[in-house]
Amino acid sequence: MTTGEPLIVLDSVNKWFGPLHVLDDVSLSVGRGEVVVVIGPSGSGKSTLCRTINRLEPINSGTITFDGQALPAEGKALAKLRSEVGMVFQSFNLFAHKTILENVTLGPVKVRKEKPAAARERAMTLLDRVGIANQADKFPAQLSGGQQQRAAIARALAMQPKAMLFDEPTSALDPEMVGEVLDVMTSLASDGMTMVVVTHEMGFARHAANRVIFMADGQLVEDAPPAEFFANPRSERAKDFLSKILTH
Amino acid sequence: MSVLIDKFDVFAGGFWLTLQICVLAAIGALILGAIVAVLRISPVPPLRAVGTAYVNIFRNMPLTVVMFFAAFGLPALGSNADFLRIPGMDAVFTRLGTDLPYFRFALIALVLYTAAFVCEALRSGVNAVPAGQAEAARSLGLTFGQNLRYVVLPQSWKASIVPLGSVIIAMIKNSALVGFFGVVGDLSQTADQLTSAEGYAFIPVAIGISIGYLIMTVPLGALLDRIEKRQAVAR
């Protein structure tokens, strides 16, 4: 699945929130087309790791490279890089004052300067793909959580990103809506999208991931294919974590 | 109380001049306040520092002192604030174009002072927009300016409008100071003129000018109440 040079490379990344060492010398590389699932207990730094990749969280030391280019500082270059990395949030963060369709077309029209008609057409195709084309003219608050999250995925895909970051995309959803979001993500993964997914959905990690990253206390503890990780976790910390979540 | 009828034209003239300075100062303060607010929330630290310094100075200094600086400091620097003699504008607001600069000086002081409060009212609205909205916009690749224009500001004005209205009401009342800094013929200076120079009893005159201010402030307050009620329903 992996071809050529890796798309995302983190090298000795450190980050502190005040005295808290949230990312402790984290190194990671994600190949093109690879699906990497990041799991770990809460407070382990996995969300922060995900957010450093498009510099929503700046880092204190180390380097992050995306598509062969070091992450630029704030400014036009960073905005361009962010337009190439899709991001899906736990709380959806759809623009509350815009319709679903406007949410999806805003980036293409304002950032990529696409013609509104062409952007709308592509947006409708994407909304159809995630199964909510009939909700296009509603406002986010009128949709269920699952529908909102699928709209958020469509909004990110509209930028035709080189990679997608998912920061706990199903954690804020009612249980019966988790499946519809994971279905969309699974189909994206099988289409060859490069994905970094922070999640607690072990089922998704098992069947859709190429690799599972286990984090604890800001450190990257394990990095293994899912079958290997779930069957034979090497570290005590991972064994402990899995025993807690897999017993119920 | 006959002064209210006998001198109605004087009161009306004072009302008109106070209204002029308030309209001009409100426009100026909204523009300058918006600029300072953008500085204060900018991602560039030096710009943020400039915005913060501005607010700290003008929000914390008495308006009287700002007026003193404008009325005595500007002439000392050799300025008659002639840049405010804006062609076209000075046809409607005649005092902008007069040789006597005190109307322009008072206007500058009122704008500088009020802009600090406008900035904070706008910023409180921006802070009321959930952080995730701006994060999502940044993630799409929108620049800081696009983020403000298309995502944050359209959602923030709802939370800004009521505090902004209170700031403007306070500004209208604060404009009563301009009569003591060389502006002849506004509502407050009218009171001084009628009582000190022409010997009318103070209380009827004070009632007259109070009515003048209330005609400006009460409808504005009522409008804000209506906006607030509509927002409460929308929420």
Residue B78 sits at the chain A interface (C-beta within 8 Å): no
Q: Is A171 on the interface with B (CB under 8 A)?
A: no
Number of folded domains that form chain A: 1
Look at chain B and report how many structural domains it folds into: 1
Residue B63: both structure tokens together: 């308006």
Q: Are A149 and A100 in contact (CB under 8 A)?
A: no
Contacts of B155 in chain A (CB under 8 A): 96-97
pLDDT in tens, B35-91: 999 999 988 899 999 999 999 999 999 999 999 999 998 888 888 877 888 887 777
Domain of A147 in residue numbering reads as 6-246
Q: Which residues pair with A66 in a beta bridge?
A: A8, A69
Per-residue pLDDT for chain A (248 aa), expressed as one digit of tens each? 445 789 999 999 999 999 999 999 999 999 999 999 999 998 899 999 999 999 999 999 999 999 999 999 878 899 999 999 999 999 999 999 999 999 999 999 999 999 999 999 999 999 999 999 999 999 999 999 999 999 999 999 999 999 999 999 999 999 889 999 999 999 999 999 999 999 999 999 999 999 999 999 999 999 999 999 999 999 999 999 998 886 66
Q: Given an 8 Å threshold on Cβ–Cβ distance, is B133 in contact with A95?
A: yes
CA nearest neighbour of A26 among A216, A241, A233: A216
Q: Is B139–A76 a contact, with Cβ atoms under 8 angstroms apart?
A: no
Q: What is the ipTM of this complex?
A: 0.91
Question: Is position A143 within any domain?
Answer: yes
From B151, which residue of chain A is nearest by alpha-carbon distance? A95
Cβ–Cβ < 8 Å for B47, B39: yes
Residues of chain B neighbouring A164 (CB-CB closer than 8 A)? none
Count interface pairs A-B at CB distance under 8 A: 63
**What is the spatial distance between Cα A182 and Cα A175, in angstroms, rounded to a whole number?**
11
H or E element at residue A32: strand A20-32
**For A107, which of B130, B141, B154 is closest by C-beta distance?**
B141
* Rounded-to-integer distance, Cα B171 and Cα A134, Å: 50
Chain A neighbors of B143, CB-CB under 8 A: 76, 79
B124 close to B163: Cβ distance less than 8 angstroms: yes
Does B141 contact A97 at a Cβ distance shorter than 8 Å? no
In sequence order, the β-bridge partners of residue A20 are A17
Q: Do B43 and A111 touch (CB under 8 A)?
A: no
Judged by CB atoms closer than 8 Å, whether chains meet at B140 and A107 is answered as yes
Q: Which residues pair with A28 in a beta bridge?
A: A10
B136 touches chain A (CB under 8 A): yes
Residue A183 within any structural domain of the chain: yes
A39: tokens are 């799991």
Task: Say which of A83, A96, A97 has its CB closest to residue B140.
Answer: A83
CATH number for the domain including A128? 3.40.50.300
By CB atoms closer than 10 A (0-12, 13-18, 19+), residue A144 is: middle
Assigned domain for A200 exists: yes
* C-alpha to C-alpha distance for A144 and A148, rounded to whole angstroms: 6
Domain containing residue B62: 3-234
Q: Is residue A141 part of a domain?
A: yes
Q: Using the beta-carbon criterion (under 8 Å), do B136 and A87 form an inter-chain contact?
A: yes
In a domain, A1, yes or no: no
Instruction: Give bridge partners of residue A21 from the DSSP assignment.
Output: A16
- The SS3 of residue B176 is helix
pLDDT at B232 over 90: no
Residue A186 lies in a domain: yes
For the whole model, what pTM was predicted? 0.81
Cβ neighbour number for residue A12 with a 10 Å cutoff? 13
User: For residue B128, what is the domain's CATH number?
Assistant: 1.10.3720.10
Q: What percentage of chain A's residues is helix, strand, coil (to nearest 5)?
A: 40, 25, 35
State whether residue A85 sits within 8 Å of chain B by CB. Answer: yes
